[in-house]
Amino acid sequence: MIKFAIKLYNNDKDAHFIFHATPDLIHYTWQWYLTDDKENIGEPLEGQQYESFVTTTDLIKERGYEGLYLYCEYMDNNTKRKSKTEFIRLHADINKVIDSGIVFDDISTYDKNGMILD
């Protein structure tokens, strides 16, 4: 899984997250899930049957996702073999996500005009 975060301008807590399940695979179907326990099957996120899942710290808080695990189950359409991505513990504070051990492929920041800085 490839993971990106973009911090808001002058804000060390809030960010936008982009999780990309299978960057190098084709002929797959995807379903994103939330669970409170990595050992249990999660609840499917309605309408989230795409390779990528995008959310924000505000939405995590607003939708009650704080502390839940996000993961994607993907299936090879040819073999019907299913696999799962890693589990991402969601928090409404990017620092808590990082402190939970999640390693992002890139963390950027928006400038005051909404442009992404490297």
Work out how many domains the chain is built from and give that number. 1
CATH number (domain holding residue 105): 2.60.40
Q: Domain residues for 110?
A: 2-117
The mean predicted confidence, pLDDT, of the chain is: 95
Residue with more model confidence, 23 or 2: 2
d(CA 100, CA 90): 9
Query: 44 and 33 in contact (C-beta within 8 Å)?
Result: yes
pTM of the model: 0.92
Region 74-91: mean pLDDT is: 96
Give residue 118's pLDDT. 74
pLDDT of residue 2 exceeding 80, the answer is yes
pLDDT digits (tens, 9 = 90+) for 25-72: 889 999 999 999 999 999 999 999 999 999 999 999 999 999 999 999
Predicted confidence at residue 24, as pLDDT, reads 81
Per-residue model confidence (pLDDT) at position 48:
93
